[in-house]
Amino acid sequence: MSYVIEGQTGQWEIVVGLEVHAQVVSHSKLFSGASTTFGGDPNTQVSLVDAAFPGMLPVINHACVAQAIRTGLGLNAQINLTSRFDRKNYFYADLPQGYQISQFEHPIVGTGTITIELANGETRSIGITRLHLEQDAGKLLHDQDPTKSFVDLNRAGVALMEIVSEPDIRAPEEAGAYLRKLRQILRYLGTCDGNMEEGSMRADVNVSVRKAGEPFRTRCEIKNVNSIRFVMQAIEAEAARQVEIWENGGTVDQETRLFDHTKGETRTMRSKEDAHDYRYFPDPDLLPLVLEQSWVDSLHAALPELPDAKRARFQQEYGITFYDAGVLVAEQAVADYYETVARGRDGKLAVSWVTGDLFAALNRTSTTIETSPVSAASLGKMLDLIADSTINGKIAKEVFEDMVETGEDPEASWNARACGR
Amino acid sequence: MLEAMAGFDERDSTSSSRPVPAFHKAVGKSVKGLRVGIPTEYRAPGLPEDVLAMWEQGIAWLREAGCEVVDVSLPHTRYGLTSYYIIAPAECSSNLARYDGIRFGKRVDGASLDAVYEASRAAGFGPEVRSRILMGTYVLSAGYYDAYYLKAQKVRTLIRRDFEQAFENVDVLLTPTAPSAAFAQGENQNDPVQMYLNDIFTVPASLAGIPGLSVPVGLNGSGLPLGLQVLGRHFDEETVLSVGGALEAAAGFAHRPTLHAGAGA
């Protein structure tokens, strides 16, 4: 059953599109050689280009372009062999150039798709409109001095990918599923760490409501939402607000809003009248970005196996369910762990140990798959002991707990147990 | 100096990786057999007699040096100045945005960030710069971009094509540098259009991205210097310098300027 809002005048459907800003994983910035490491002391990772010193010119970072192409390929999207950088002009204290270098008319990546899965097991395809490269701005620090604000330019010039979806999303749950899936793909590709708390992935949410079958009504944009949960809450709150306005005979104004998660409501940030006129025009300091098809092809050939493909292969190769395969591929490290355990063994038995006893143990010992006390190789050996009937299922549970405790391999645990008896 | 400055710069994405020729060797090279184009559109009505006469003199000098002189047409020349005064201020409005009083430029305090910007930029820039920023902001604004900036860029392409076609038949073009002799310091200050019109002959080359050279060749009746401009193909500075060298040799121009000419020097 799709998501509807029950209004006084009937049912309303919501229409949502997402613009995700994903910070590119790269050593240096989009147009300068300064470092991109998170958490450096303020203004220690700033080149003369980032600080907009007069006469300094931008030079494109090849590695960031490669990351954008790889992301585009991972989103099954069209790669535009010719794209262009434009200047987006506006004044703000965190923007030393007075403009952001972005891609407006000719983005590097065109249309693509993401397949999302919902709780009821249904899948839906969400269209990607485009992906473009742009510079991040600096950061203002307001809490250092009672009367002054300070500017930290470490982030200024770091490469962002803006990934824009079609207005295909029809429920808060779908928005959440879209963001999780996008984050998963970015992490598999290694093009963005997807860390929303550190701000390396943030979302602008476009929301409107309509009666079934109607054309789109006016939308509002909720800026800079920094967690998946808040995105879902913001959509609910904003859609409810719009329904109320329409039902009371009012009109929703196109505007930019902010989500206040403590109050669970959105409020006006700037209205259409105050909207910036960004005066985009092609950056005369940069040539059009022209890509060789052969380079795109070689990046394509070197892409890692992505979640959807891995999931299908796990199902087929290891005879496990669609659901279990989904749990395993959610994180690449888990998928790798599972595959080490399952290769050449009973895949179904492997999945029940990994998603059952192992996950429980990780939880209990506050460790992650990367820091697991039981290595994949050890768990595999334990499955061998079960397979050759050295131990039975009940003993295996005990051996496994010893392994969690001691970090020893299963033979050692089993021997210790056998001798102790 | 040009030889030292020219060439690829890895920190400038717009620089060319072509090898830099030995420009100094081009000066003094024979110009015999070169074809020199005279753009008919530059014979603008109202062009002063002394400027015209100097142009004719230049043509005569080059003929004597063995050049063949032919008329050529650059039909979009008349749109050059207007296009330039759309594109250049547009870029200028954006390039000068960094002088906002925060990191660069004079800072004047205000009650809000916007107030600081307004006061700082009003105080820091002179009237001509302010006027260009305003023009540039206007032509890039929503609703005006297509009519001004985009159209000017299209005209720019047509102007470049004019030159490329002309250079299929000739090696260089010869024109006056300016439509009048130099005006005095302070003169024309209140007439920006007059000031802009003075660039009418030099601006098309800048729009087309071709090399140009201005050679001082003589004085007018009031003792003010007059120059001739040599324009060449993209990346063909050498031929331009050879022709410039021939003009310099023929003119034997050795005058030195006196400051404040015409303004009570």
**Model-level ipTM above the cut of 0.85:** yes
CA B162 – CA A70 distance, rounded (Å) = 42
Residues A289 and A390 in one domain: no
Which two structure tokens, joined as six digits, stand for A352?
């029940």
Q: Which of residues 81-140 of A touch B (CB under 8 A)?
A: 87, 89, 91-93, 96-99
CB A133 within 8 A of CB A160: yes
Answer whether B12 sits within 8 Å of A57, measured CB to CB.
yes
**Integer Cα distance of A356 and B44 in angstroms:** 89
Residue A363 shares a structural domain with residue A233 = no
pTM: 0.92
Q: In which band, very low, low, confident or very high, does the pLDDT at A267 lie, cut at 50, 70 and 90? A: very high
Instruction: Calculate the CA B25 to chain-centre distance.
Output: 25
Amino acid at A188: Y
Chain B CB within 8 Å of residue A277 CB:
yes
Domain identity same for A284 and A342? no
Please indicate if any CB of chain A lies within 8 Å of the CB of B157: no
Tell me the H-state helices in A148-270. 172-189, 228-247
A300, A315, A349 — which closes off a domain?
A: A300
Answer yes or no: is pLDDT of B264 > 60: no
Which pLDDT does position B183 carry in this prediction?
79
* Residue A55 touches chain B, beta carbons under 8 Å: no
What is the rounded average pLDDT for all residues in chain A?
94
Could you read off the pLDDT of B150-202 as tens digits, one per residue? 999 999 999 999 999 999 999 999 999 999 888 777 777 778 888 888 899 99
More confident residue, A264 or A121: A264
Reported as a single tens digit per residue, the pLDDT across A332-391 is 999 999 999 999 999 999 999 999 999 999 999 999 999 999 999 999 999 999 999 888
Any chain A CB within 8 A of the CB of B255? no
> Is B100 at the interface with chain A, CB within 8 A?
yes
Domains of chain B: 21-251 (3.90.1300.10)
Domain edge (last residue) among A260, A276, A300: A300
pLDDT band per the 50, 70, 90 thresholds, residue A420? low
Residues A310 and A267 in one domain: no
Q: Quick check: B14 and B231 in contact, CB under 8 A?
A: no
Encode pLDDT of A83-114 as tens digits: 999 999 999 999 999 999 999 999 999 999 99
Q: Which of A244, A276, A300 is the last residue of a domain?
A: A300
Residue B28, amino acid = G
Task: State mean pLDDT over B108-115.
Answer: 94
Cβ A52–B104 below 8 Å, yes or no?
yes
| Domain residue limits at A159 | 5-300
Inter-residue contact A136 to A159 (CB < 8 Å):
yes
Is the model's pLDDT at B265 over the cut of 60? no
pLDDT of A386: 93
Residues A151, A286 within the same domain? yes
pLDDT tens column, A268-327: 998 877 788 999 999 999 999 999 999 999 999 999 999 999 999 999 999 999 999 999
β-pairing, A159-165 with A123-135?
Answer: antiparallel
- pLDDT greater than 60 at residue B222: yes
d(CA A342, CA A350) in angstroms, rounded, equals 5
